Amino acid sequence: MQDINFGLTQTIRDLKIKRNAVILAHNYQLGEIQDIADFVGDSLELSQQAAKTKADVIVFCGVHFMAETASILCPDKTVLLPDLNAGCPMANMINAQQLIERKKELPDALVVTYVNSSAQVKAESDICCTSANADRVVQSLGAHKILFIPDQYLGAYISLKTGIKMEFWPGYCPTHARIRPEDILRAKKDHPQAIVLAHPECRPETSSLADYVLSTGGMLRLARSTSRNEIIVATEIGLIYRLRKENPHKTFIAASEQAVCPRMKLITLDKILNSLETLSPVIKVTESVRVKAKKAVDKMLAIG
């Protein structure tokens, strides 16, 4: 089949070489963007890639906090986010001032901050986590009192999994909150042989119906290794593209077609080309915030 984007993708590839740029894309990005990226991954894997890239320019195909994390880790590189409106609504559910106020109410607590948060919030935190390592991060803190922000559902899942009690912030992902228990029950009825994978950003009543609760990277690994051929996927539907591409003989069923993150979908090939041409929009975290935020991100990366 003729690739309708062939000319555009070739121009992006040529310009990428000229700029010594790397394209990092989150697993929820549009298929054509995943195809052109140098690396596609979950939040943790993308941070790890950003930390070790030798490129001068990072084109971040994801949402704002992900590009900020790259800027925190690579202050000497030019980090581009092809559309500045690509922000994560959950990350905007808490700001640094709100966190400072909450910390006053819980002076003994260590703050564990999901990477889906602003650099200013990370700077006020003790340690970051992603959905791939949140359990290990929380366990690494021993018997300390913990304030987990901003995702109450990820926090509740980790608390259940580790048996560690925590204080939560009432944030959530609107995209994952759209996946209801009825969606899983319907999909299971239609596909009785299927296993169910859910992202921990889903509501507890939804994830409790899953066989496995995993980050997007964890879902990709499970899909490769399982002998089961039918898999119901409760996360943003962009992941299905990569699951099908990597496992052409398996069947993937989206738990809900409503699970679309509109901000992730703002990134397009045209905008990537424009970013490479103009070297904008740049995401640059101010140095005083960056130094503090990096401590929390580095602590997470040391756990892996």
**Site for ligand 13P, rule CB under 6 A:** 27, 42-43, 116, 130-132, 173, 201, 215-216, 236
Q: What is the DSSP letter of 109?
A: P
Residue 99 touches ligand SF4, criterion: CB under 6 A: no
Distance CA 220, CA 202 (A): 17
79 touches ligand SF4 by CB under 6 A: no
Closest CB to ligand SF4 among residues 55, 267: 267
- At residue 294, the 3 state secondary structure works out as helix
Residues facing residue 111 across a β-bridge: 147
Q: Which of 44, 52, 64 is nearest to 220 (CA)?
A: 44
# of chain residues touching ligand SF4 (CB under 6 A): 14
Q: Of 22 and 86, which has the nearer Cβ to ligand 13P?
A: 86
| CA separation for the pair 207, 181 (Å, rounded) | 8
Please identify which residue in 21, 24, 88, 219 interacts with ligand SF4, judged by CB under 6 A: 88
Which CB, 118 or 215, lies closer to ligand 13P?
215
Task: Report the C-alpha gap between 128 and 149 in whole angstroms.
Answer: 9
Q: Which residue has the tokens 């609107």?
A: 174
Of residues 269 through 288, those in contact with ligand SF4 by CB under 6 A are none
| 24 near ligand SF4 (CB under 6 A) | no
**Is-contact 158 207, C-beta < 8 A?**
no
Q: Which of residues 252-271 bind ligand SF4 (CB under 6 A)?
A: 261, 263-264
Provide the sign of the torsion angle of the four alpha carbons 282, 94, 48, 42, taken in this order.
Answer: negative
Instruction: Decide: is 236 part of the binding site for ligand SF4 (CB under 6 A).
Output: yes
Q: Which of 178, 179, 129, 121 is nearest to 155 (CA)?
A: 129
- Give the per-residue contact string, 114-153, with ligand SF4 (x = CB under 6 A; - = no): --x-------------------------------------
The one among 59, 79, 80, 90 contacting ligand SF4 by CB under 6 A: 90
Residues that bind ligand SF4 (CB under 6 A): 63, 88-90, 116, 173-176, 201, 236, 261, 263-264
